[in-house]
C-alpha cells in the first residue's frame, strides 16, 4: 500500500432488498482487490439472506417497473451475483462477515443456521472494536 | 520474467480488476500482466489499482474493441 486510504472498510448491511445487495458485492470485492480489509456486519432485514435457507433478495416495490430491465441488463453483462462477489472477495482479501447477535436472536437463528460465508455471530461491540480505524458505510 | 495475459473482456466491474488481482497474486516481480478489458470503467480503475498497489503501468491503450493495460509487477514483497 503506497497511498493514503482508510485502514479498512466497515459495512453495516441492514437492507434486505436486492438493489442493496449489488453494492455490497461490488464494494466488498473492490476493496479486497485494493488490499483494503473489509468487515461486514449483517443485521436487520439483510440477516435471512446470510442463512443456509436464504431466500432470493427481492427488489423494493417502488422500483418494480424497473426490475425486468435490471435483470436483463445484469444477465447481458454476465454480472456475478452479490454472493459470488462476496465469496470471491473473501478468497482474495481480508474480508470477514459477521452476523449481529441481537438480530439473530430476533429472527430465531443460531450460528449453525448461518451460510458458510458467515465467519461469526458477534455483538456490536466486537464490530465497533474491529472497525475502530475504518470507514464505515451503511447499506 | 513472464508475460501473463488476463483476458477480462466481457466482464463487468469489478470483474476485470478482480481478474487482475488474482493474476497478480501468482506473479513475481519483473513479470508483465497484460490485461484486456471491455468494461468502460476499466481505464480509471486500473490506474487506481496501480496507484494503490505501487506497481508500474507501462501501457494503457484503447484498441478498437477493448482496452489494453500492461502492468510491470514491481511491488511484490520478496
Domain ranges of chain B: 3-72
DSSP single-letter state for residue A134: S
Give the CATH number of domain B3-72; options: 3.40.1260.10, 3.40.630.30, 3.30.70.890, 3.30.110.40.
3.30.110.40
Mean pLDDT per 10-residue section of chain A, whose length is 139 residues: 74 95 96 96 96 90 90 88 95 96 93 96 93 96
Alpha helices by DSSP H, B1-78: 15-26, 42-53
Which of B5, B22, B13, B24 shows the shortest CA–CA distance to B75? B24
Question: Which among B25, B49, B75 is the nearest to A92, CB-wise?
Answer: B25
A29 in B contact zone (CB under 8 Å) = yes
pLDDT, residue A2, reads: 47
Mean pLDDT calculated for residue range B53-68: 96
B40 in A contact zone (CB under 8 Å) = no
Answer yes or no: are the C-beta atoms of B20 and B6 closer than 8 Å. Answer: yes
Mean pLDDT calculated for residue range B26-30: 96
B13 an active-site residue?
yes
Mean per-residue pLDDT over chain B, rounded: 95
Q: Domains plus CATH for chain A? A: 21-97+119-138 (3.40.1260.10)
Answer yes or no: are the C-beta atoms of B59 and B28 closer than 8 Å. Answer: no
pTM: 0.86
What's the complex ipTM? 0.77
What are the chain B neighbours of A26 within 8 Å (beta carbons)?
Answer: 13-14
pLDDT, residue A133, reads: 94
A6 in B contact zone (CB under 8 Å) = no
Amino acid at each position: 500500500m503506497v497511498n493514503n486510504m482508510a485502514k479498512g472498510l466497515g459495512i453495516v448491511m441492514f437492507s434486505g432488498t436486492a438493489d442493496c445487495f449489488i453494492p455490497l458485492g461490488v464494494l466488498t470485492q473492490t476493496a479486497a482487490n485494493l488490499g483494503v480489509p473489509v468487515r461486514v456486519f449483517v443485521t436487520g432485514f439483510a440477516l435471512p439472506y446470510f442463512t443456509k435457507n436464504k431466500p432470493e433478495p427481492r427488489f423494493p416495490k417502488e422500483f418494480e417497473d424497473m426490475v425486468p430491465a435490471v435483470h436483463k441488463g445484469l444477465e447481458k453483462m454476465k454480472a456475478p451475483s452479490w454472493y459470488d462477489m462476496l465469496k470471491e472477495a473473501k478468497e482474495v482479501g481480508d474480508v470477514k462477515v459477521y452476523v449481529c447477535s441481537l438480530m439473530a436472536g430476533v429472527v430465531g437463528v443460531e450460528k449453525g443456521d448461518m451460510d458458510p460465508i458467515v465467519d461469526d455471530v458477534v455483538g456490536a461491540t466486537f464490530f465497533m472494536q474491529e472497525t475502530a480505524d475504518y470507514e464505515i458505510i451503511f447499506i | 520474467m513472464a508475460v501473463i495475459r488476463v483476458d477480462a473482456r466481457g466482464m463487468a466491474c469489478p470483474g476485470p480488476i478482480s481478474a487482475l488481482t488474482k493474476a497478480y497474486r501468482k506473479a513475481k516481480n519483473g513479470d508483465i500482466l497484460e490485461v484486456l478489458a471491455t468494461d468502460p470503467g476499466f481505464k480509471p480503475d486500473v490506474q487506481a489499482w496501480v496507484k494503490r498497489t505501487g506497481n508500474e503501468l507501462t501501457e494503457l491503450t484503447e484498441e478498437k474493441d477493448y482496452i489494453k493495460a500492461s502492468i510491470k509487477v514491481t511491488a511484490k514483497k520478496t
